[in-house]
Amino acid sequence: MQLRLQELERQLAQRTGELFGRSSEKRPQREQDEGNKPEPPTHGHGPRAQPTLPALEVEHTLEESDKQCPKCGGTLAEMKGEILGGDETRWHAWALCAPDAVVYRIQEGRDTEAARNMLQDFGGILMVDGLSTYESAAAGSGGKLTLVNCWMHARRKYVECVEAFPQAEEALEMIAGLYAVEREYKEGAESLERLLELRQHKSRPLIERLHPWACEHAHCPSRRWARQSNT
C-alpha cells in the first residue's frame, strides 16, 4: 500500500508539471541550497497512456438577469456569429483596471488602434506591462497619458536571463528590496503619507542604484540564448 501511494503521488506531481509547466516568476534554487541530496527512488512502472476523451460542444444560454451589467445596469450585447478560437481568427482579451472597476474587452489585435479603442478618452497615469503599443498610444494622446511600468514584468526579464547572465542577481536583489518596502507598508497602518515616506526614504535609494546598473547592462542574454549557445 505504501509503494502504491508513493507511485500515485509521483504521477500526480508529473501530471501537474505537464499541465502548468514551470513558472517564469519562480526562481530556481541555488545549488548551495540544494546540497548533495540524492534523487528519491522511483517505484512502479511509470505513467500509463491515457485514453483520448471526447470533445463536446455545449452552448450555454444566459438568463435574462445575467444579460445586464451589475455595475452600470446596461444590457450586455451578444457577439453574434463570432466564435473565439479556430485557426482563422485570433482574438485578444484586454483588461483595464481601476480601484472601483475592471473592464474586459475582446479585440482582434494588440496594436495601437486596439489600445486607443480600449482607453477611449482616458487621461492620467496608466500602469502597463511594457508593450510598445502603449508607448504609441501615449505619444498620440497629446500629453494626456503618463505611462508607468510594472515591476513584476521588469523583474521577470531578469529572472529569465539570470541563468545565462549571473550578474542579473544584483538587479533581482535590488528589486527584492523594493518588494520588501511594499510588504513593510502593508504590515502597518494604511496611509498615503506613510507610503510616500517609505518610498522616498527606502525605495528611492534602491531605484537610484538600479537605474545606472540597468543602463550599463542594457543587453542581457536570455535563457533561450543560453540554451541555444550550449547546443
pLDDT tens, residue by residue, 131-172: 889 999 999 999 999 999 889 988 998 998 888 889 999 999
Decide if 112 is inside a domain. yes
Domain boundary among 99, 122, 149: 149
- Indicate if the pLDDT at residue 99 is higher than 60: yes
- Count of domains forming the chain: 2
The Cα 113–Cα 110 span in angstroms is: 8
Q: Which residues pair with 145 in a beta bridge?
A: 124
Determine the average pLDDT of the residues in 15-39: 56
In this structure, the answer to whether residues 119 and 166 fall within a common structural domain is no
Encode burial over 93-103: b for 16+ CB neighbours within 10 A, e otherwise: eeeeeeeeeee
pLDDT score, position 77: 76
pLDDT, residue 230, reads 43
pLDDT of the residue at 36: 55
d(CA 93, CA 109): 9
Question: What percent of the chain has a predicted confidence (pLDDT) above 70?
Answer: 71
At residue 175, the pLDDT reads: 95
Structural domain contains residue 107: yes
156 and 117, same structural domain?
no
How much is the pLDDT for 144? 92
Q: Is 22 contained in some domain?
A: no
- 32-57, pLDDT tens digit by residue? 444 455 666 656 566 777 778 788 88
Cα-trace Rg, the chain = 24
Pull the grid cell for residue 179: 518588494
Q: Higher pLDDT residue, 59 or 78?
A: 59
Last residue of a domain, one of 96, 131, 149: 149
Name residue 94's beta-bridge partners.
105
- 158 shares a domain with 224: yes
Q: Domain boundary residue among 149, 174, 193?
A: 149
Per-residue confidence (pLDDT) for residue 29, from 0 to 100: 55
Q: How far apart are CA 223 and CA 165, in angstroms?
A: 9
In the prediction, which pLDDT does 115 show? 92
What pLDDT was estimated at residue 34?
Answer: 46
Burial 34-65 (b: 16+ CB within 10 A, else e): eeeeeeeeeeeeeeeeeeeeeeeeeeeeeeee
Give the model's pLDDT for residue 43.
60
pLDDT at position 11 over 50: yes
The answer as to whether 51 is a domain residue is no
Which domain, by its residues, includes 94?
88-149
- Judge whether 104 lies within some domain: yes
Query: Please, what is the average pLDDT of the chain?
Result: 79
